[in-house]
Structure 1
Amino acid sequence: MSLDVELSALAVQEDLPADLVRRLLRHPEARRSAARLRSDLTTEMLEEVIRLGSARSLAANCSVPARFRVRLAEHPEPSVRAAVAASVRDEPPGLLARLADDGDPSVRAFLAMNEQLSPELLTVLAQDPESHVRLSVVNQWRHAPEPVRRALLTDSDPHVRREAAAAYSPPADLLPALLADAETRAVAVRYVDPSPELAADPDSGVREAVAAHPGLPVELRDVLAGDPDEFVRNAIAARPETPSTLRESLVATLATGDSLAAWVLSSRRNVHACPAPAPAPPRLTREQAEDLLARAGL
């Protein structure tokens, strides 16, 4: 373990004496860890973190007193305001509305992730001129009212339309347009019955969606099992009712030298095991902590 990693781990150790925390604030990595995760930072420490240039890390800490979070919400750097916007409460009242009117779109996009937002403010952000702000609303507001969902499903930006189609069950009258739209067609397939035409669609993403459809008939399953696209075949192999012999023959065709593609394919069949989490760093005694700080020149 590198010295920087050891110091960062010590910086978030519970019940660490205040004098050791103050010394750790002089180390950039340890300071950022403490600023992000400690809930016992004193006013003096908070001021020191800001003075030393780690305001952004501090802005992501939900334990920071409200008066400091208000101050950070007015910070000149957009990245600091964005970090605050993602989790700040409306203290004082009107703070969230001010952030919704922030001149930097990244701040408004992070604000859309804030679970404290009212439906009224989310509706405002759903109409934001910046597409990635509207996209953030789609990803956060899965129970948006129908007028908002309709607007996002018919958004001028293809990425917003695609994510909205994945997030919301479309009204029946919008389904034909979603199926005709190259950006949303593969997502919209789940809402219609599989057909030979869809199973032969030139877009492999559409065919993959058909292969994963819960209502896929056996005859189309067998057609898609011979699809030239490995992700389509993989979707057939991932189906729980696919006969084991067919599954094994399909998996044998999925060999790839691309480790990332192999990981994606196996994860979609739920056979990829994630590595075990790293063990927690050992808790240091005062003497051990002093030794570590001395080695770091702190």
Structure 2
Amino acid sequence: MEVGNCKFVAQLIYESPGLVWEKNGRGWTIIHEAVWHRHETIFSLIYELGMAKDVIPTFKDTVDGNTLLHLAARLPPPTQLNRLAGAGFQMKREILWFKEVKKISQPSYIQKKNEEGKTPQEVFTSAHEALLKDGQTWMNGTAQSCTIVSTLIASVLFAAEVTVIITGHDRVKMASFRIFIISDAIAFLLTLTFSAILTSRYAERDFLSALSWRLKMGLALLFFSITAMMFTFSSAFFIAYGHKDVFSILVTGCAGVLLLLYVSLQLPLLRDTFASTFSCKSIFKQSEPVVL
């Protein structure tokens, strides 16, 4: 069960449907184990078990009185928590788990207290306090680093725009000059995208959609901003030295290499950001029934 072999578990349930009612020494069923170990595919089997979907969430832990929702509110084992890189993404996944188990819980069990006198929401808040702080630190640090880059881009491009406009007034009809102005404007406008993250309250619900969306959009727009800066840089040399100058072509090639270098350095963060978004969006969806 700890490995999360869904097909094996599904086959067992198909051959012996009564297994879903079997409990271990603590009163946990297969679904309870799936929630504790965060195996979303096995947990999704509960939607195919008919009346069991309404009954199993009412089973309580015989040791501390935790319900299924209490288990979803606790931190999972580190091996499962670290499946996603970045505390912000981990916090988002934990919130999704809590909300999904909450959907199948009876209304009276949402506020049910365990032996410690805590509701599932209180358990979630206390158990995820450290992860929430780590998520705040990680998200804030990422936004600050990108903001520094954005500020440098804005400063350099503003000075470049003023200089070219003053010295290149006789070349305003050149295509390279128009490319310069358009790229400069785009790069300058797209450098302000991370301010929304830095001014966020970092509440639990913000990690579910707002912060991840802002980070995803900020990274994407920062990439376009740097791309526009490279176009601006290259077009400035074409304005100064002409289209056929070898030096202008060489500088343009160097700008392209720098852009590729930036993409390679930021690729892990971009990959984790978009992978987290798409994996969390379909975390509890089944492409086909596993229990017939």
Pick the structure with more helix per residue.
2
* TM-score of the two chains, using structure 1 as the length reference: 0.33
- Structure with the bigger RCO (C-alpha within 8 Å, sep 6+) is 2
* TM-score of the two chains, using structure 2 as the length reference: 0.34
